[in-house]
Structure 1
Amino acid sequence: MSLRQGYLTLFFAIFAVFLNPAWGEDGKTISNIEARQGINVCIWPDYFSITYLSPRTQQLEGIDIDLSHALADDLGVPVNYVKTHFGQFMDDLEAGKCDVAMFGVGNTKARQKRINFTQPYLASNMYAVTTKQHPFIKSWSDMDQKGVIICVQKGTYMENAMRKSLKNATLTTVLRPNERELEVLSGRADVFITDYPYGQKNGQRL
């Protein structure tokens, strides 16, 4: 079964690199980087065109891979990648597993309480993805109905936006990104919400 992208704009999401608060406050993060002679960067390696581990080349690619290499070059150290995901990255930052997280993360008020952000450098609309066989979901207006289940990844910009937007549909959350597709393909959810890069990945792969 393949998925169909319902590419209709609902919200405009800003994505940014964000740093451990210690980076800008007392120089602790910079000192740690210099001491270990390397910068640890948290990424989610399934983020198509952002931080993506290509199955063909087994190499990381995407805009935040390029930018993290540029950051490491500026600091004069090699870059080390730490695998994480949206439901875990703030814990990883606070635990010192990485110095910076770079994988297209949206700036939200909840996240601002725990981490600092750089200036945004990437934007994306949000997109709905459902199956080709779905009997009635063809637009955003079709989704917000009683009995419709919409899936988002917990802790993402999409979760907060959909909670504010939905009036009738039921919102369900999952921890890991690929669980969204499984919820839709299994019939436990009618649609999942994502951004343009990840939606493009599903259009090509599923």
Structure 2
Amino acid sequence: MSTNRRTFMALSATALASSAWPAFAQGTSTLDRIKQDKQLRIGVTSAEPWFFKDPMTEKWTGVGVAMGEKLAANLGATLVPVETTWANAVAALQANQIDLMFVLDPTEERKKAIDFPEAPLFYYAMGALVAQDSPIKSWQDIDKSGIRIGVTLGTSLDKNVTAMVKTAEINRFSNNDEAIAAFASRRVDVVVQFHPALVVQYARLKLGKVILPTPVNPVATSAGLRKEANPAFRDWVSEQFATLYKEGVPDQIFDAYLKSKNIDPKGIPGLVKEAWQ
């Protein structure tokens, strides 16, 4: 019997599916792979206090890195930072380049492409860096003609600001540092980031002031991971997040990072919303 090209392709696809089936049937997951390879790969990008790369040593630190180190230690694995961007993080997870991307908000759009643990990683609030003499107090004050807003491309903040703002001009930058640089050079009037990132940026810049525009709402952030038939890794991460949050670990890590940057954490809202005053 002769085999035409279409038949050959169909047979090849069937063979590939059959060869892949045993791994699927065994219920393997990312958790199994990490335990076997002893490596937990996380995405990292320039965004303090979550991720910071020392230009001299090229070592990554930050809240996200510290959280990753705790999870890796609990798995008996080594943490492996993999550079990416917020905009490319979902694709990196899908392509199996990384296992987790910390501080990735579980938006409905992202949930269509990747998975998230049930328990939140921690909480933060949307903040704004404005001029020292700025009268801005609310989001309504920001959304006015002539106001130029800077946000980081591909973040949930980008999505939130786009949905909220009807009149002001939105300028998008590839990372947090570029947005802050635009504020310093007066190319934007307001930079919108989550309050922990703004605290670190302000302490370094010493320009303007950080406010929490009203209404202030806590936002739960998480970590993205691949969609898998076996939920073992997702469930394990969720259990870890719930335990660490209950023990106040996110605040402990955030405070330690602020101190490493010579910033006094006293009076600064942390990452556990129950402790906010």
Question: Aligned-pair distance for 1:37?
Answer: 2.6
CA contact (8 A) 1:130 1:191 kept: yes
Distance 2:113 2:71 in 1: 22
Instruction: Confirm or deny that 1:38 pairs with 2:17.
Output: no
Structure 1 segment 81-160 matched on structure 2, within 5 A: 81-102=81-102, 104-118=103-117, 119-132=119-132, 136-140=134-138, 141-160=140-159
Instruction: Confirm or deny that 1:200 pairs with 2:199.
Output: yes
Task: Provide the identity percentage.
Answer: 22
Alignment CA distance shift 1:57-1:203 (3 Å): farther
The equivalent residue for 1:12 is none
Structure 2: which amino acid aligns with 1:138?
Answer: I
Select between 71-80 and 190-199 the one with higher mean Cα deviation: 71-80
Structure 2: tracts of 5 or more residues without a match: 1-26, 206-277
Distance 1:169 1:78 in 2: 45
The equivalent residue for 2:162 is 163
CA contact (8 A) 2:129 2:190 kept: yes
Higher relative contact order (Cα pairs below 8 Å, separated by 6+ residues): 1
The equivalent residue for 2:69 is 69
Distance 2:188 2:88 in 1: 23
Question: Aligned-pair distance for 1:53?
Answer: 4.0
CA contact (8 A) 1:137 1:143 kept: no
CA radius of gyration, larger in:
2
Alignment size in residue pairs:
177
The equivalent residue for 1:11 is none
The equivalent residue for 2:217 is none
Higher relative strand content: 1
Structure 2: which amino acid aligns with 1:163?
Answer: T
Say which SS state the counterpart of residue 85 (structure 1) adopts: coil
Structure 1: which amino acid aligns with 2:38?
Answer: Q
Distance 1:99 1:121 in 2: 16
Q: Structure 1 length as normaliser, TM-score?
A: 0.74
Deviations 1:149-190 (A, max 9, x none): 212111111111112211211222122221211222333321
Distance 2:174 2:61 in 1: 24
Deviations 1:70-99 (A, max 9, x none): 211222221111122212211211222111
Question: Aligned-pair distance for 1:127?
Answer: 0.8
CA contact (8 A) 1:147 1:169 kept: yes
Question: Aligned-pair distance for 1:130?
Answer: 2.5
Structure 1: which amino acid aligns with 2:129?
Answer: V
Deviations 1:126-158 (A, max 9, x none): 11113337xx55323332111212121111111
Structure 2: which amino acid aligns with 1:203?
Answer: Y
Structure 2: which amino acid aligns with 1:98?
Answer: I
Say which SS state the counterpart of residue 91 (structure 1) adopts: helix
Structure 1: tracts of 5 or more residues without a match: 1-25
Distance 1:55 1:196 in 2: 24
Question: Aligned-pair distance for 1:58?
Answer: 6.8
